[in-house]
Amino acid sequence: MTEDLSEVFERLRDVLEDETEELNVIHDEATKYEVRAGRVFFGSVVLRRTQVVFQLRALETRPELGEELPEPLRRRLQGKAEFVFKTLDDVQAHGLAELTRRAFDAYAREGEEVLRLAPGRSDTTPRPRKPRR
């Protein structure tokens, strides 16, 4: 079992990164890792002062993905799409990897174009913001 929050963050970051290689990386920092499917938020890992948060947007848009959550993960779920960790064991990490893979596959099966990188953009290039009026 991992006790250090920075280690928990790194393990969760690896889970999200490994299962979403084709998506846009928007933030890759020491305390935040975020991926988007085109313009749509897909998931993130955020290191906070007392916990690490793993967010997976697909649980909000496709609630059926969460129906078969293993009990160790269900206990970590806050709200519809946010898992909170202070420690992380292998069962939880594996469960999140499987859930993230299923979420990615659900988007891909439905042929959502948001899963493709925008032409001419690298993984780490954030989308430019429009000027405010």
pLDDT tens per residue across span 19-72: 888 888 999 999 999 998 877 889 999 999 999 999 999 899 888 998 888 899
Answer for the pair 13, 45: CB distance below 8 angstroms, yes or no.
yes
Residues 6 or more apart in contact with residue 24 via CB below 8 angstroms: 35, 36, 37, 38, 117, 118, 121, 123, 125, 127
Q: Mean pLDDT over all residues of the chain?
A: 84
Cα(first)–Cα(last) distance of the chain, in Å?
50
Q: Where are the domains of the chain?
A: 5-109
| Ranges assigned E (strand) in 48-119 | 52-56, 77-78, 82-85
Flag whether the pTM goes above 0.75. yes
Helices 5-19, 90-109: inter-axial angle, 10-degree rounding: 30
**Residue 43, beta-bridge partner list:** 35, 56
pLDDT of residue 39: 78
Question: CA–CA separation, 46 vs 90, rounded Å?
Answer: 19
